[in-house]
Amino acid sequence: MAGTLYGIGVGPGDPELMTLKAKRLIDECPVLAVPVKAEGEKSTAFEIVRPVVDLSKKKVLEVIFSMSKNSSDYWKCGQVAGDQIIEELENGNDVAIVTLGDVSIYSTYMYLEQYVRNKGYNTVIIPGIPSFCSGAALAGIPLTLGNEGLAIVPSAKDNPLVGEAIDRFDNIVIMKAGNSVEKIANMMKRRNVPAECATIIHNVGMEDQYIGPIDTDRKYGYFTTIIIKKGKKDW
């Protein structure tokens, strides 16, 4: 009997923010698949589970998802990684693959999951806490109040949705914003949205975590989110 593939969101960085179900399934699966950008590279998702999971009797399988601006490359990586996973499933092994935050939000896992599922194998998705929810909690920011709307957009590739979201929504979560902080600050200024309406969430749950106002002189990495709340002055 073929095994089951579990796509598991392990949260934003703090192992204590993993769900009980995520922890149980990772413990139970004999194979732990770890997405990396290149062979032998450090995986942040793996580092989250390492302190709380016994890895001594578990097979750790690297699956490569190279960073690319072309979505077709992700589908190709998903097929290659999917074939690796299918080999384990065919041997009767359940496989847990870990991903940062929540599985359904900008996760490369979903490219792999669709491939494996379409091949006729059983797949299960286990949700996790998204980084912007964790960051909002740490910053004391309500993402929505009353009848307010919320937009979640990525800033990569000069995405025009960022400007549209700032124009149309009360609350905006801009993910993958590490290289776009100054650009987004200027977009806010042109729209007369005060700088104090924005909060930077950088490497939440990690050692160099930063949660605070926009600082264009600061260096930000890939795991950077900007939360813009136009009604911030009202609370």
**Would the pLDDT of 231 be above 70?**
yes
pLDDT band at 25 (very low <50, low <70, confident <90, very high): very high
Q: Which tokens is 76 given? A: 């190709």
Cβ within 8 Å of residue 100, ≥6 positions away: 9, 10, 11, 12, 13, 44, 45, 48, 107, 128, 131, 223
Domain spans, the chain: 5-126, 131-234
| Whole-number CA gyration radius for the chain | 19
Entry pTM: 0.89
Dump pLDDT digits (tens) for 90-110: 999 999 999 999 999 988 888
**Per-residue pLDDT, 42:** 85
Q: Which tokens is 226 given? A: 């900007």
pLDDT band at 221 (very low <50, low <70, confident <90, very high): confident
Please state, for a pLDDT cut of 70, what percent of the chain lies above it.
Answer: 94
Dump pLDDT digits (tens) for 28-37: 999 999 988 7
**Per-residue pLDDT, 67:** 59
CATH code at 5-126: 3.40.1010.10
**Per-residue pLDDT, 96:** 98
Per DSSP, helices labelled H in 120-227 are 131-139, 161-168, 181-190
Q: Decide if 176 contacts 69 (C-beta within 8 A).
A: no
**Per-residue pLDDT, 156:** 67
Q: Where are the beta strands (DSSP E) in 75-196?
A: 95-99, 123-126, 150-154, 171-175
Chain mean pLDDT for the chain: 90
Dump pLDDT digits (tens) for 141-187: 999 999 999 999 998 667 889 999 999 999 999 998 988 999 999 99
**Per-residue pLDDT, 70:** 60
**Per-residue pLDDT, 38:** 75
**Closest to 57 measured CA to CA, from 20, 31, 83:** 31
Strands 171-175 and 224-229: antiparallel
Please state, for a pLDDT cut of 90, what percent of the chain lies above it.
Answer: 69
> What is the rounded CA–CA span in Å between residue 133 and residue 107?
16
Q: Which tokens is 174 given? A: 């801009």
**Would the pLDDT of 62 be above 80?**
yes
CATH code at 131-234: 3.30.950.10
**Would the pLDDT of 68 be above 60?**
no
